Structure formats: C-alpha cells, structure tokens
Amino acid sequence: MAEITLDHARTIISAALAKGRELNLKPLTVVVLDAGGAMKAVEREDGAAPGRIEIAGGKAYGAVMLGMGGRAQMDRAEAQAYFIAAANGALGGRMVPVPGGVIVKDGDVTIGAVGISGDASDQDEAAALAGIEAAGLTAVP
Amino acid sequence: MAEITLDHARTIISAALAKGRELNLKPLTVVVLDAGGAMKAVEREDGAAPGRIEIAGGKAYGAVMLGMGGRAQMDRAEAQAYFIAAANGALGGRMVPVPGGVIVKDGDVTIGAVGISGDASDQDEAAALAGIEAAGLTAVP
Amino acid sequence: MAEITLDHARTIISAALAKGRELNLKPLTVVVLDAGGAMKAVEREDGAAPGRIEIAGGKAYGAVMLGMGGRAQMDRAEAQAYFIAAANGALGGRMVPVPGGVIVKDGDVTIGAVGISGDASDQDEAAALAGIEAAGLTAVP
Amino acid sequence: MAEITLDHARTIISAALAKGRELNLKPLTVVVLDAGGAMKAVEREDGAAPGRIEIAGGKAYGAVMLGMGGRAQMDRAEAQAYFIAAANGALGGRMVPVPGGVIVKDGDVTIGAVGISGDASDQDEAAALAGIEAAGLTAVP
C-alpha cells in the first residue's frame, strides 16, 4: 500500500506550518501531491499571496514528475540551464526548480511530493523536511 | 475583516467531510477558494480519483468568479445553455456549473466559495452546506 | 504494491491487440496509463492514424481522472451533457467520453486505465476488456 | 516502404531497455515516434517518474520535427541559444534539446525518432543507439 494518504498529508502540512511558526517564517503555502502529481491536500496561511499556490505546487510538481527534488533541479539548472528550461516547457511550464520541492518516499517507493513557498527557498525546504519527518516518511530534497 | 481565513477553511473541510461520512457518501474532494478564486485549502479523501480536484475546484471557481452558486448556474444552463458555455469559455474552461459549488458569505460580503465532488451533485452540495454552516458563515448554492 | 507494472501493461496491450486480430477489427491504438494519468505503455498498430494516440489516450485519461469508465461517462453525457462537457474543459479538453476507456483495478484499488481507439467504440471496449482480463486484473467500463 | 512499423518500434524498445539493464542504468522511458511526430510505441520502466514521458517524448519530438538529433540540438543551443529557444517556442515548447533524442533512418529516409530519458543524457543516448541498431536501421544522434 505504498500510497500517500490524507492522514500523511495532514501530518505533513501541520508539522511544516508548525516549523514555520517556530522559525518565525513569513506566511507559508504547503501543497502535497500524490505520485501522479494530483493534489492530496493544500493549505495557504493567512497573509500568503494567492500565486503561492502555483509556486508551491510547481515545486512539488517538478519534483514528482521528474523524480528529482527542487534542490537537485536547481543544481542541474545551474550546470545545464537549457535542460531544466526545456523540461519545464515539456511539462507545460508548471515546474518551479528551486529548493522547497521535496520528494516523499515510503521506503524505496515515491508516493508523492511536498512543495512549500513563502519565505526564502532554504527556509521553505526546512519546513518541508520537518513535515515529512513528522509523518515518518523519507524526504529527497 | 471580511476575508476567508485558514481557520474558516479548515472548519468547512472538516465538517463537510464529517457530513460525507455521516451520509455514507463516496470519497469526497473539497476545495475552498478565497474571493479571488485562489485556493485557501484542499483535501482529497483516500479513494477519490485525481481529477476530482479539477471538478471540485471548477465548481468553486465558477461560483466565486460569476457570483452565482453551482445550482443557480445549472438552472441558467438549462434555460440558456450558450450563456453558461460562453462564460465558461471566457473563464478558460475552468467552470463546472452543477450543484456542489457554493458561495461563502460573511454577512453580505462574498469571501470565497466551496466546491465538492465525489458523489451525486446534490449530495456534494449537502456536504458543502454543512461545512459552511459549521463555520458560522452564509451559503449561497 | 497496488501499482500497475510494465509487465501488466505489456500483457494488456498484447492481449488486446490479439483480440482485435481475432475479431478482424481495424488497426487499433492501445494506451495504458497509471493511476495518476501518466503513460505506462502505448502501441499503435500499422495503419492506425496518428491522432488515435490522443483519442485512445483521452478515453483512458478521462476514466482514470474521474474514476468513471468511458461507458459510464457516455451514459452521464447523455443524461447531463453539460456536466461531461464542463468536466472535460476542467481537465484541459483531454477526455474522450465514450466506450473503450476502461478503469483497471487490482482488487479494490484503481491502478490505471486502458484506452483503445480504431474500430467502433463497442469493439474497442471488447479489446480493452480482453486485455485487462488476460493480465488477471479487474475492468470497470 | 520507408515507414516505421510497430515491429521496428518493439525491437527498438526491447533492445534499448536491454542495453539499459546491461549498463545498470536507472529506470528508462522510451518513446518511439513516426516521421510525423506521433507516437508509435512507448514503454516506461517500473520506477521511472511520470514526467519522463514528456522528457523522452520531447527529445524524440524535437529530433523528428527539426530533422536534427538531440546531440546536434545541444551543440546548436550552446552556439546559438536563442535559435533553439525560438524553435522550441514555435514547436509549442515540446522540444528537449539534449542527447537521447535520435533520428531513425531507413537508408536515406527519416522514418521516425527515438527519445530516452532516465539516466544521464549520454547513457540515454547509448541505449537509443543500441535499440536502433538492433532494428537494422540508421541512427542520427
């Protein structure tokens, strides 16, 4: 049953937002996708701008569709910018290849991805990692 | 302060899903949008098909963008199909004009909309109404 | 491990095409999607027109995204045309709501969908059912 | 009879995947297109991320639509980035101009293209070349 559940997603979001409050981050938006790239759960904190849905969602979408976390995508973009640009075009422009998009694994199996946006990318990623850890799952940034 | 909050959205989703379980409905997807049509919170129950995000989201999107609930849209579609078809085209094809898309008001002010998909449209709407009532807000189906 | 495998997909395609030859159908195109709507395997027989990829793929895509087989979608379209039209718009126009799009289940869990196009819709569906049966999986037309 | 057949496509895919296993590559996705850019056959190995369809497909699509293999496109992108960017825009953003997209010729006639994604681009290309060779056809990387 390697599939992300709504319980997983709620735990991830709740722990990620708690981490954001603990670190005193700006209002965060958290998007949890399943292994096919469809939303499982989303929360946007009060004060977070509306387009943060697309930014957080794009971080998670690129991660799950390429099987490559946002930090790995950023490294690849810095080494070979046109590959990431072209991949993004092929995926309809929906990727946001920066930290804060993190693959979620249950053991060896990818079951989804988390994308967070609102503060600096490194901080967004820290909140995502805290959320995934709280759910007892494995994060691949 | 007529604005939908994350607390509102969580209460709406939680009460709508509880209503779904009480009525023994199929797995539901609940999308809560703000007054600008951006997602505030989303939950998709285990077993709900991935495209239900777009269906539930489309019900809520049409409601908030037209200022007309899904039931009113359906009535209008039956009276004047080309108006709803044209409105949908103008809105990028994102509307789903059937019951289950419900406007959320705080007093006289529209603060968002709820869209639910998964069971028959009338049942989806019943769950949405239960959610909005639980949040102490006013529903316009 | 309720996930469609490449072995499943190969068996489905091979048996579906064999059924097509047995029934002397026109050249068929078979698209097998996973539970998230991404292609697992595709084959287009010699003589099948290029756009059959989109037709077969659209049958499978609508089935898996809505959790409703192509035959059920057709019935719903005949009862409430604008719902299916709007759902299709919300899913980017990628649905083809006719028989030949069949959900694939492993026990109770949806693991993907098969779409076939090339002959009459009823014949396309017969080939899809034969393929899914050969793989020891459950079909929902 | 300069046309790619389903037998060709099956041989290409089977030999390309065998090469991938021989070289111990990550899970591969193989897309075989005809001379018009339509899919002839596709296989995505278990464990390959869903968006690899678009990446592998984009490599093959650019190759057949421009008549220029992925390696040649990458060289051109490094010499004249705006040309490849503009060509990609004109082709709807569907190109992925890196190695692993290989034109397939029967004698002097282009009959299609193969795109592979999953490992490093050079490895993807090696698998594509092995597949095309196994089919007795000519590869233009």
- pLDDT, tens digit, 9 for 90 and up, residues C17-74: 999 999 999 999 999 999 999 999 999 999 999 999 999 999 999 999 999 999 999 9
User: SS3 of A1, please?
Assistant: coil
What pLDDT, in 10s, does the model give residues C107-133? 999 999 999 999 999 999 999 999 999
Where residue A77 sits, what CATH number does that domain have? Answer: 3.30.450.150
The pLDDT score that the predictor gives to residue C2 is 81
Asked if the structure places residue A12 within a domain, the reply is yes
- The answer to whether B65 faces chain C, any CB pair under 8 Å, is no
A12 band by pLDDT with thresholds 50, 70 and 90: very high
Determine which of B31, B54, B82, B94 to mutate to test the interface with C (most C C-beta atoms within 10 Å).
B54
Alpha-carbon distance of B55 to C49, in angstroms, equals: 31
CB A89 within 8 A of CB D98: no
* Cα dihedral across residues A94, B31, D49, A68: positive or negative: positive
Partner residues linked to C29 by β-bridges: C44, C117
Alpha-carbon distance of D97 to D76, in angstroms, equals: 9
- Number of C-alpha atoms within 13 angstroms, CB side, residue C88? 20
Q: What is the mean pLDDT of residues D3-27?
A: 98
CA dihedral C114→C118→C119→C123, nearest 10 degrees, is -10
Do B51 and C65 make contact, defined as CB atoms within 8 angstroms? yes
C chain contacts of residue D37, beta-carbon cutoff 8 Å? 50
Alpha-carbon distance of D112 to D102, in angstroms, equals: 9
Determine which of D5, D6, D32 to mutate to test the interface with C (most C C-beta atoms within 10 Å).
D6
Other residues' Cβ atoms within 10 Å of the Cβ of residue B109: 12
Alpha-carbon distance of D141 to D125, in angstroms, equals: 8
Asked if the structure places residue C45 within a domain, the reply is yes
Partner residues linked to B104 by β-bridges: B112, B139
ipTM over 0.90: yes
Do D45 and C6 make contact, defined as CB atoms within 8 angstroms? yes
Question: In Å, how far from its chain's centre is CA C45?
Answer: 16
Alpha-carbon distance of A126 to C107, in angstroms, equals: 39
Closest CA to C31 of C92, C117, C125: C117
Mean pLDDT (chain A) is: 96
A134 band by pLDDT with thresholds 50, 70 and 90: very high
Query: Domain range for residue D95?
Result: 6-140
Question: Which among A1, A2, A37 has the least Cβ separation from residue C36?
Answer: A37
Determine which of C61, C66, C140 to mutate to test the interface with B (most B C-beta atoms within 10 Å).
C66
- The answer to whether A37 faces chain C, any CB pair under 8 Å, is yes
- Number of C-alpha atoms within 13 angstroms, CB side, residue A118? 29
> Residue D24 is which amino acid?
N
> Residue B111 is which amino acid?
I
- Tens digit of pLDDT per residue, chain B (141 long)? 589 999 999 999 999 999 999 999 999 999 999 999 999 999 999 999 999 999 999 999 999 999 999 999 999 999 998 999 999 999 999 999 999 999 999 999 999 999 999 999 999 999 999 999 999 999 999
C chain contacts of residue A3, beta-carbon cutoff 8 Å? 2
Asked if the structure places residue A46 within a domain, the reply is yes
Asked if the structure places residue D1 within a domain, the reply is no
- The answer to whether C36 faces chain A, any CB pair under 8 Å, is yes
Q: How many domains does chain D have?
A: 1
Q: What is the mean pLDDT of residues A123-128?
A: 98
Asked if the structure places residue B1 within a domain, the reply is no
SS3 content of chain D, % helix, strand, coil (to 5): 45, 20, 30
Taking the CA of residue C35 and the nearest CA in chain A, the distance in Å comes to 7
Partner residues linked to A102 by β-bridges: A114
The pLDDT score that the predictor gives to residue C82 is 86
Closest CA to C48 of D91, D135, D41: D41
Residue A61 phi, psi dihedral angles, 5° rounding? -65, -45
- Number of C-alpha atoms within 13 angstroms, CB side, residue A78? 6
- The answer to whether A120 faces chain C, any CB pair under 8 Å, is no
Alpha-carbon distance of C42 to C115, in angstroms, equals: 10
What pLDDT, in 10s, does the model give residues A71-123? 999 999 999 888 999 999 999 999 999 999 999 999 999 999 999 999 999 99
